[in-house]
Structure 1
Amino acid sequence: MQKTKSNSLSKLALQRFKKNFWGVLSFWFIVFCALMAVIAYMLAPDSSKNANQMHLSIHSKSPGFSVKMLTIPSNTLSDQSYLNKIFFGTKNMDTEIPIEGYSFNDTFLEITPYTEGELTGISKRIELTSFPDQLTKDEIAQEFIEDRTFILGTDKYGRDLLSRMLIGIRISFSIGFVAVFISLLLGISLGAIAGYFGGKADVFIMWLINVTWSIPTLLLVIAITLALGKGFWQVFIAVGLTMWVEVARVVRGQVLSIKQMQYVTAAKALGYNHFRIITKHILPNSLAPVIVISAANFAAAILIESGLSFLGIGAQPPMASWGAMIKDHYSYIILGKAYLAIIPGLGIMSLVMAFMLIGNALRDALDVKG
């Protein structure tokens, strides 16, 4: 009977959620972004590791910029597997040169490198032996010279902005998942212990919560990051260690009210141990507000990571991070190229807003009184 009732409440919550237009839209947007994060290197025009292929001669170009690109193949053989390329990018040894024009001679390819303005680049000669021997001149031109369009333009280092944006989604999702996982693990455990056992355990955990809460989140993250060192995983751990407080406080309050219920008293009378009572009877009935908080924490983790990267203590170069992209280009706002900072800013805003909207939708759907 209790299981049937639980199932019916779950179905009711799901029906309520489906009726929330913004919640459903946000859900599918997040699923879409998560899918892009997984296959980012397959979608990115620049599939090199961290989308870090630099072309300084075409830096800070506007969206839609096109140029001829010559690729000089490397003789070094790559030992990367296909799966490794998909998840970690290609170890690109090839040399790419933006060019304005080219012509073939008997033994070399003469190119005019791309230059900005009225100045004409100094022509260079590339021996045809740099390319595979079996290819004719027409085949070399067809295979190694292409018209490349940068849909979102290039950054100040001449890297493809679209590719950097796609790879940057991974950082945002990774920080969200890891930080929320750590916060749930600590928050649910400590909150359940404090609410269920009470006494000195409750006093100590509440003291720890109050002390942690009194420290500004960003300052605490910076302190932990500096203690652990700069890096990818250090930021994840630091953000997660600052987000457990609200989860613990909510879980404690839920456990305090639920442990007075008759079915918990009956479980104690039947001789069940504390671990089983907490995990099987109390926590499953107190997770609704935790789910809502998790969505908000996911959004907060993305913002904190972006802030840390902007300050230079988040994800380190050449790793693609939306916060670091804003840091690199915020000065361009007054130089007439504001899109270099606005595009990653819109990415952060849209992803955070999606998680906040889905959190609101979950709150309405899981509200039993509603």
Structure 2
Amino acid sequence: MTTATTRTTWRRLKKNKGALIGIAIIALAILVAVFAYLIAPDGSPNANRMVVEIGGQRPGYSQLFLQLPRARKVRSAGFFNRLFAGDEDKYQYIPITNYQQQGDSLIIQKYIDEGLTERVALPISQTRWQEGAAKGDFKVVTKKFHLGTDKYGRDILSRLLVGVRVSLGVGLVTVLISLSIGVMLGAMAGYFRGRTDDIIMWFINVIWSIPTLLLVFAITLVLGKGFWQVFIAIGLTMWVSVARIIRGQVLSVRELEYVEAAKALGYSHTRIVLRHVLPNVMGPVMVVAASNFASAIVIEAGLSFLGVGVQPPQPSWGLMIKENYNFIITHNPMLALAPGFAIMLLVLAFNMLGNGLRDALQVKE
């Protein structure tokens, strides 16, 4: 697209309030994904701090903890390591209900379960423990879990924030793979037509006839379970719609005068396609890319829920629903509803952006 076309598209897009709201939500999600470990209450790798005694607690739950230094010394991670992978906990967290110091011992009531505690005496020196102090071997702190804890006692809010990375990552990788394959095959089919078009369309129809989830299952079983495998598997199943759209657009554009002029000047087919055809058919592709981004998030969540997507302990919104869905019919449904609402909000944002792009680019369906 030319600079003038881009400016016109942006002016139209700014008039669409739904698209602007979608852009704002997506921008916020990107910021959260980048700084997740810095803003999450649990900044440990994968937000995987387990305190099983407080599992399944409601939103707003507060608990008193005794921090004990780990047996081995844990080095502090550098800023960039902490930004990308989190910082390993230097303490173990023991939930307590109350404590008191008696001579050289710290007497605690260790929290075991609702209404059940255990009295424990820890030998310490008075100079090595201070309540809430930054230094010393022992430290007592109060932590609040704004969205509650899962069945393993992990902070739901922290895992929700870190899980944004998986959802945005799968959408980005899926769109890149689907655009790369779809644009190439669609452009070849539409530009060369004839036998090339017949072969590519036959292949597209075969892939189109296979249910998406079934194809993803097959690819996942071949590539194995894991973080990158599920990204690639979803990407390899979503290029078909891009290819069909590109083919239709190229079929109409290849007959225009400027393409015929480029052929008369002796330009190569590669140059004509890359520099004269594709830049003028990318509007619909941008719309379908936004739609594919939203679809990829939903598919990844479904695969993780079924156990063939992202594997624990890495936080994924679909995996969080799987781990906590039994709480929906019991006393604490928010543990499963929170990641469900997050999926819904992010998918809605990309759909609103796609609708805004469709109107701004005046794409006909």
**TM-score, normalised via structure 1 length:** 0.94
- Residue of structure 2 in register with 1:253 after alignment: 248
Structure 2 residue 37 is the aligned partner of structure 1 residue 45: no
CA distance in 2, matches of 1:104, 1:79: 30
Structure 2 residue 98 is the aligned partner of structure 1 residue 106: no
Counterparts of residues 227-266 of structure 1 (less than 5 Å): 227-266=222-261
Secondary structure of the residue aligned to 2:65 is strand
- Residue of structure 2 in register with 1:9 after alignment: 5
Structure 2: give runs of 5+ residues left out of the alignment: none
- Residue of structure 2 in register with 1:276 after alignment: 271
Pick the aligned partner of 2:77 from 77, 80, 88: 80
Pick the aligned partner of 1:361 from 341, 356, 361: 356
Structure 1: give runs of 5+ residues left out of the alignment: none
- Cα offset for 1:368? 6.7
| RMSD of aligned alpha carbons | 1.8
Counterparts of residues 1-370 of structure 1 (less than 5 Å): 6-74=2-70, 75-78=72-75, 80-119=77-116, 121-128=117-124, 136-138=128-130, 144-367=139-362
* Code of the aligned partner of 1:12: T
Residues 182 and 241 in structure 1, CA contact (< 8 A), matched pair in contact too: yes
Alignment size in residue pairs? 361
CA distance in 2, matches of 1:365, 1:27: 14
The percentage of counterpart residues that share the same residue type is: 50
- Cα offset for 1:139? 5.6
String of CA shifts for 1:119-155, please: whole Å, max 9, x gaps: 3x121233337xxx9x543366566211111111111
Residues 112 and 118 in structure 2, CA contact (< 8 A), matched pair in contact too: no
- Cα offset for 1:329? 1.4
The alpha-carbon distance between structure 1 residues 278 and 43, as it changes in their structure 2 partners (threshold 3 A), is same
Residues 104 and 137 in structure 1, CA contact (< 8 A), matched pair in contact too: no
Residues 106 and 123 in structure 2, CA contact (< 8 A), matched pair in contact too: yes
Residues 294 and 351 in structure 2, CA contact (< 8 A), matched pair in contact too: yes
CA distance in 2, matches of 1:191, 1:369: 18
- Cα offset for 1:264? 0.6
The alpha-carbon distance between structure 1 residues 264 and 225, as it changes in their structure 2 partners (threshold 3 A), is same
CA distance in 1, matches of 2:114, 2:51: 16
- Cα offset for 1:270? 1.1
CA distance in 1, matches of 2:115, 2:191: 76
The alpha-carbon distance between structure 1 residues 368 and 216, as it changes in their structure 2 partners (threshold 3 A), is closer
- Cα offset for 1:7? 2.8
- Cα offset for 1:68? 0.8
CA distance in 2, matches of 1:214, 1:369: 25
Instruction: List 4+ stretches of structure 1 deviating above 4 A.
Output: 139-143
CA distance in 2, matches of 1:91, 1:331: 30
The alpha-carbon distance between structure 1 residues 140 and 254, as it changes in their structure 2 partners (threshold 3 A), is closer
